[in-house]
Amino acid sequence: MSLSRRQFLKLTGGAAAGATVTVAGTPAAQAAQAARTDAGRTTLPYTPKVIAHTAQLRENAPFAFTFPDASSPCAVVKMGTPVPGGVGPERDIVAFSVLCTHMGCPVSYDSATREFRCPCHFSTFDAEKSGQMISGQATEKLPAIVLDYNASDGTVRAISVDGLIYGRQSNLL
């Protein structure tokens, strides 16, 4: 029996498609597809840490702490007015990594402007708008420390980090 090129391609193409459907239906293939779909999602096992009691925090004054480890300096600020991501009785307590997202220089809080400022390359970040970058060399917002407020004892805990701390491939070492 003689096959034309067209018939040969139809036969081999159909067989290849059938094999692909068969392999794609296996549990291993479904798991691989799920892994590709969730490749960018990561839930890191942060250890919650009590960082302050609300009575310790003064309005518009930074309070230093480290999270998620001793090599990660951060600051918590009681803004005095409700802000996005704020916790506490007035939803006004926020926290950020104080390592600039440009080159890792430590930023400082300026209470007059309510901004974090980098002394190295003059980037500024808005503490009232989730650490959003305002100006300078940085291209990303400051990593926000996700906080949890316990009304029964007035403590504020750091529970995770929203963003990547400068110089790291993962926020947990």
Residue 110 backbone phi and psi in degrees, to 5: -105, 110
What is the spatial distance between Cα 139 and Cα 13, in angstroms, rounded to a whole number?
48
What is the spatial distance between Cα 168 and Cα 157, in angstroms, rounded to a whole number?
22
Q: Are 137 and 124 in contact (CB under 8 A)?
A: no
pLDDT in tens, 22-55: 545 556 556 555 555 555 555 678 999 999 999 9
Q: What is the pTM of this model?
A: 0.75
Give burial (CB, 10 Å; 0-12/13-18/19+) of 158. buried
Q: Is 121 a catalytic residue?
A: yes
The domain 49-162 is placed in CATH, from the list 2.102.10.10, 3.40.50.12780, 3.20.20.150, 2.40.30.10, at 2.102.10.10
Q: Are 108 and 116 in contact (CB under 8 A)?
A: yes
State the catalytic residue, choosing from 121, 135, 167, 173.
121
Q: Is 53 a catalytic residue?
A: no
Domain ranges in the chain? Answer: 5-37, 49-162
State the catalytic residue, choosing from 102, 116, 130, 163.
102
Q: Are 99 and 167 in contact (CB under 8 A)?
A: yes
pLDDT in tens, 101-110: 999 999 999 9
